Structure 1
Amino acid sequence: MRLVKKWVSLGLQFILCFLLTVNFGQPILVQGQDLSLINEVIGTPSSTQPETPSSEIPNDASELPDAFPVTLDGIELWKISAPFEGITAQTRVQGQTKRIQNLADDFSMKPEDVSIVKPKGFPTLYLRTKEFFLLSITPEDAKIAGLSQQALAEKYQRTLLNAIAEYRQRRSGSNVLRSLGWIVLASLGLGASLYLINRFFALILIPLTQFDSLVGQRVRGLSFGKKTKALIIQFIRFSINFSKLFSYLSLIFFYITFILFIYPFSNEYSAQFKQFIDSNVQKIVGAFLGYLPNLFMIALIVIITYYIIRFNSVIFSEIREEGIRIPGFYQDWAEPTSRIISVLIFIMGVMIASPYLPGFDSPAAKGITLFIGVLFSLGSSGAIANIVSGILLIYTRAFRVGDFVEIEGIRGVVIENTLLVTRIKTYLNEVVSIPNSKVLTSTVTNLTIGIDKKNPGVIIKTTVTLGYDNPWRKIHETLCQAALRTGDVLKEPAPFVLQTELSDFYVAYTLHAYVSNTNTLMLTYSELHQNIQDCCNEVGIEIMSPHFSTLRDGNHTTIPQKYLESDYQAPGFRVEGIK
């Protein structure tokens, strides 16, 4: 009821606005006319009127310019397409429409006041009242209409008198009151209709809170995730609200058209409003229908592009799973190659479909494309370099995801290799992102790529410097034993030691061992160093600075106490004699 009262109130306010804005008074007829209107009505005497060559008068109506309608209260009376005495057809129509409107508003004019006259010496007939000329009927007008001047003048006279009679009848007091009553009823009907539409859509709205149970009863075993359910609910709400809005706008359109038509003083605006809406709707529908062939081509291009990309994915999936083998094409190339080709196919599809898009050739589209191109060229040089470097790194097979590498002094496992950056996870659980352009220009040490059936592990090495007083064979055996105690070190191939340097005070022993798990390489190194210390201590080999041996006499050994004999005593200084 509140909604009904609201719309009734709005309707009454609308009526009052009409009553305040419409002029009920009688117009004041201006006897004087401007020069163009006087020329259009009076014309030039035949004695001075220049003769129009017959070749200038079109023989076919299709050769004439556009015809302009003369109207009264929005209703067309007749059309004029011929100029007269230098006055265009459009100017003639404007003058006739204005004078006919003034005549219709002059309720003191009677039908017998409108007569047909032909001044002497003039080839033109006129319709006029007792006070002023209304319009002219030229020989060209008659020729275009296919009638004589007298017949055309009588036709114009009948049409004019009937139109004025209807115009005045619509503006009579009884008709105005009747139209106001219809407006009130229309306002009440609009309010009631809007209320019923609102109630109707409230009733047909699905109880969205019970969506899962409602669908579950229809389709057994069907379940929806939260995001899927929210998307479906949003679509249902949008569809219902759009239908309700469309119903509201349709009702309001018919309401406005009706009240403009039923109210006498706004009757002419009714046709204009309806024509405005109809023309725009026709433009939209016409544009849509005209765009259907392009839309069909776009849909066809989208479908073809989609299935080509799907076919490309299937082919490279078979290559990745070794279902298809191409000599010289590695398995790890399959996925990136599939992505690159899919992107190229997509770009090609967009380029082929672009000419069919609306506004493709418009200046705005060209300007936006140019602006994006300039931005891309100025700001993407680094990105393009990284993308090219990323592609080169893929096909050079410098590393793969999961490999243990060293790049720019950073050691870790490759966890991601994109077109722009390479990400490495260090043993400290840090993720380091390195631009591909920098990776391509750096030395990459890959500790994993060499592991295969023939080479089951990667070699790790560590160097120990010991004095010359230790037997080298014993040191070799001790270091190899320390390596075999380390968890990730392989027994086959066996560890080995190389004497890499014979210095002035010490010998450098480099232990080499094979490991299969490169992901825990830092932990393996730490465990290996611990085992070297333990094994050396167990066999009595001191790991110390060899320079300390020059002061060995009188110093306690550096071997931990638990590895020494129970009766061990630090040696004293040896003194041979005193002079």
Structure 2
Amino acid sequence: MRVLLFFLMSMLSTTTAWADADAGSSGAAYSSEVFLHEAARDDGVMTASVVLDGETLFRVRGISAAPASDRAASIREAIINLADDPTLDAHAGEVVSGGDRVVIRIAGQRIATLYPADAALEQAPLGVLAEASMNRIANAVVRYREERSHPRLLASTGLLLVITLAAGVLLYAVKALFGWFNRLIEKAVKKRIQDIERASHRIIDAAQLWSWLGGVVRGTRALALVAIVLGWLNASLGLYPWTRPFASNLFHLILNPLQKMGTGLLQSLPDLVFLVLLVIVVRAVLRATKVFFERVDRGRIRLENFDRDWAMPTYRIMRILVIAFALVVAYPYIPGSDSEAFKGVSIFLGVVFSIGSSSFIANMIAGYSLTYRGAFREGDRVRIGDHMGEVVNVRALSTQLRSPKNEDVNIPNSEVLGSTVVNYSSFAREKGVILHTDVGIGYDAPWRQVEAMLLMAAARTGGLEADPAPFVLQTQMGDFTVIYQLNAYCRDATRMLQTYSDLHANIQDVFNEHGVQIMSPHYERDPEVPKVVAPEDWYPAPARAPEQS
């Protein structure tokens, strides 16, 4: 009879998942499909399990007014009361039918009342469910009493000591084994790692490689120690009936997340393969694009109306667009991308990025605008706002200048885009940039003589071009002086300041040689003696005259 009941219970538990959705019961208010759907939710209200010492005996159905958890707790308490009284025979049970329910009684004690809803939950006749449940209860009571007997507890305690001693020996052995293994690896491998570092011309860092290898060994040792401790806890907690439920849940706490991650990984495997292939394709496209624009930058490929200086900035823009398109394509295939948490984090990061990167985006867009604007290039001498210097680097976010005082000046590209840019080098490469300076000379000096002296000073100045020839303009006729402007071409814009200094020195020398007084910047009256410096007075101490060659 017990074999038959065991067979029926096994068949019932197996056929629960395959229950026919059309099956109905005249004694129940719900269809079997509803009961099966609710049975899958063991939430304590619709269904609950009767558990004794970590073992599930059977399940019961509930309603909102009488939750299944309350019924399960009441049945469990009745079973424990029966088991705590050794004078009661656990196998002296009977099933009493009463209308639409059956009552399980053992040794005169009322243990449980089962209803047609409970039978529908297990997809079994009510009588068969009652007989099977009564036998499960009887066997559970026998085990309950046996496991709490003094001889069994003493044996469990002795076994606990043996298990603890064995776990301690294993822990010591693992530590000693990994210590020996670490020393062995250090002798056998460390020298080879250093040889690899030297052979790679220091590209491979031996210290970092050794730290990685040591991390693998330490991680393996930690896993072994954790496995020993968990095995000891599981075996120790399983020896006593009071702690056995913790033993069964211990590995579930660790293995269930791993199982879920493994299952999720297997389910996401096709998507991961797609992502890997997408990365390979995108890398190939980017590599081909980079090679193309590098050849354009070097002049090997010429494009009509496309400056070579635009090549690499255009490649960077293309790279951003290709990566953005790849992210759009890859997004639906990222594991977890359809979850609300993933979407919430994505929105949060997008808001943070949009708020905190306004100046970043503005400078980046301005940087690319400057590239296609063609206002300057690296090596040019420019003036941007109040800053003057040589362009060292044009980055995506800022422009770097080296001032004439050898200062490093970084100007945000958004500021560069909104400022007036004066480029001294753009025309200096072809015809030359015009350097000019103004002097004020009195009306008593013949203008032809003044122009000749200015041209003579320009001819003495190194760095100024003879062709095109320098020229003089009379820009203003003031109350006391005529303003003469000397203009001369210079092809080396990086030496502008030094050339200006040399030109001013030569102008003073020429005018002093010819006894013509420079009236600027202010003139009040004619002095008794002209304000000129005779050639013999050009080198008073501590100045020294240049040696004659």
Same fold (TM over 0.5): yes
Match of residue 8 from structure 1: none
Higher mean Cα deviation, 508-517 or 202-211? 202-211
1:517 equivalent among 492, 506, 510: 492
TM-score of the superposed pair, with normalisation by structure 1: 0.75
The 5 A counterparts of 1:180-579 are 180-205=157-182, 213-217=191-195, 221-224=199-202, 228-378=205-355, 380-452=357-429, 455-503=430-478, 505-544=480-519, 551=526, 554-555=528-529, 558-560=532-534, 562=536
Displacement of 1:444 in angstroms is 1.9
Gaps (5+ residues) in structure 1?
Answer: 1-51, 565-579
Displacement of 1:89 in angstroms is 6.0
Alignment CA distance shift 1:92-1:219 (3 Å): same
Question: 2: CA distance between counterparts of 1:140 and 1:381?
Answer: 64
SS in 2 for 1:265: coil
1:175 equivalent among 132, 143, 152: 152
Alignment CA distance shift 1:338-1:487 (3 Å): same
Asked if 1:100 is matched to 2:79, the reply is: yes
Displacement of 1:319 in angstroms is 0.9
CA-to-aligned-CA distance 1:244-282 (integer Å, 9 cap, x gap): 222222122211111111234323432233344333332
CA-to-aligned-CA distance 1:100-140 (integer Å, 9 cap, x gap): 2222222222346x231536x65655432344212346677
The 5 A counterparts of 1:115-126 are 115-118=93-96, 122=99, 124-126=101-103
The number of residue pairs the alignment matches comes to 504
**AA of the residue aligned to 1:294:** D
CA-to-aligned-CA distance 1:469-503 (integer Å, 9 cap, x gap): 44544444433333233232233333333344444
Match of residue 55 from structure 2: 75
SS in 2 for 1:316: helix
- Contact 1:319–1:325 (CA<8 Å) still a contact in 2? yes
SS in 1 for 2:492: coil
SS in 1 for 2:399: strand
- Contact 1:171–1:265 (CA<8 Å) still a contact in 2? no
Question: 2: CA distance between counterparts of 1:245 and 1:484?
Answer: 84
Question: 2: CA distance between counterparts of 1:157 and 1:372?
Answer: 59
CA-to-aligned-CA distance 1:521-550 (integer Å, 9 cap, x gap): 111110111122223333444434599796
Higher mean Cα deviation, 156-165 or 244-253? 156-165
Alignment CA distance shift 1:64-1:320 (3 Å): closer
Question: 1: CA distance between counterparts of 2:200 and 2:56?
Answer: 64
CA-to-aligned-CA distance 1:426-473 (integer Å, 9 cap, x gap): 212333444433433333221101134xx2422211223333444544
Alignment CA distance shift 1:158-1:292 (3 Å): same
CA-to-aligned-CA distance 1:386-424 (integer Å, 9 cap, x gap): 433333222111111221112324322222333443333
- Contact 1:198–1:244 (CA<8 Å) still a contact in 2? yes
Structure label with greater radius of gyration: 1
Displacement of 1:68 in angstroms is 5.3
- Contact 2:28–2:117 (CA<8 Å) still a contact in 1? no
TM-score of the superposed pair, with normalisation by structure 2: 0.79
Alignment CA distance shift 1:298-1:230 (3 Å): farther
**AA of the residue aligned to 1:515:** C
**AA of the residue aligned to 1:221:** A
Alignment CA distance shift 1:487-1:283 (3 Å): same
Displacement of 1:204 in angstroms is 2.9
- Contact 1:116–1:153 (CA<8 Å) still a contact in 2? no
Alignment CA distance shift 1:405-1:118 (3 Å): closer
Higher mean Cα deviation, 511-520 or 408-417? 408-417
Alignment CA distance shift 1:199-1:494 (3 Å): farther
Question: 2: CA distance between counterparts of 1:60 and 1:424?
Answer: 78
**AA of the residue aligned to 2:499:** T
Gaps (5+ residues) in structure 2?
Answer: 1-24, 40-46, 539-549
Match of residue 49 from structure 1: none
Higher mean Cα deviation, 248-257 or 530-539? 530-539
SS in 1 for 2:156: helix
Alignment CA distance shift 1:560-1:548 (3 Å): farther
Q: Which has the higher contact order (CA 8 A, sep 6+)?
A: 1
- Contact 2:75–2:111 (CA<8 Å) still a contact in 1? yes
Question: 2: CA distance between counterparts of 1:490 and 1:395?
Answer: 32
Higher mean Cα deviation, 140-149 or 477-486? 140-149
- Contact 2:512–2:532 (CA<8 Å) still a contact in 1? no
Match of residue 53 from structure 1: 26
- Contact 2:380–2:390 (CA<8 Å) still a contact in 1? yes
Question: 1: CA distance between counterparts of 2:524 and 2:133?
Answer: 136
- Contact 1:466–1:546 (CA<8 Å) still a contact in 2? no
Question: 2: CA distance between counterparts of 1:118 and 1:257?
Answer: 41
- Contact 2:436–2:486 (CA<8 Å) still a contact in 1? yes
Question: 1: CA distance between counterparts of 2:35 and 2:269?
Answer: 32
**AA of the residue aligned to 1:343:** I
CA-to-aligned-CA distance 1:353-377 (integer Å, 9 cap, x gap): 3333344344444444444444455
SS in 1 for 2:494: coil
Question: 2: CA distance between counterparts of 1:353 and 1:558?
Answer: 81
Displacement of 1:61 in angstroms is 11
Alignment CA distance shift 1:105-1:298 (3 Å): farther
SS in 2 for 1:323: coil
- Contact 1:386–1:437 (CA<8 Å) still a contact in 2? yes
Alignment CA distance shift 1:171-1:470 (3 Å): same
Displacement of 1:160 in angstroms is 3.4
- Contact 1:402–1:414 (CA<8 Å) still a contact in 2? yes
Alignment CA distance shift 1:386-1:135 (3 Å): closer
- Contact 1:505–1:546 (CA<8 Å) still a contact in 2? no
Higher mean Cα deviation, 63-72 or 286-295? 63-72
Alignment CA distance shift 1:397-1:516 (3 Å): same
Alignment CA distance shift 1:94-1:461 (3 Å): same
**AA of the residue aligned to 1:291:** S
Displacement of 1:225 in angstroms is 5.4
SS in 1 for 2:243: helix
Question: 2: CA distance between counterparts of 1:430 and 1:218?
Answer: 43
Displacement of 1:317 in angstroms is 0.7
Question: 2: CA distance between counterparts of 1:424 and 1:367?
Answer: 43
- Contact 2:512–2:535 (CA<8 Å) still a contact in 1? no
Displacement of 1:318 in angstroms is 0.9
**AA of the residue aligned to 1:537:** N
Question: 2: CA distance between counterparts of 1:110 and 1:322?
Answer: 101
Question: 2: CA distance between counterparts of 1:405 and 1:61?
Answer: 81
- Contact 2:104–2:130 (CA<8 Å) still a contact in 1? yes
Displacement of 1:98 in angstroms is 2.6
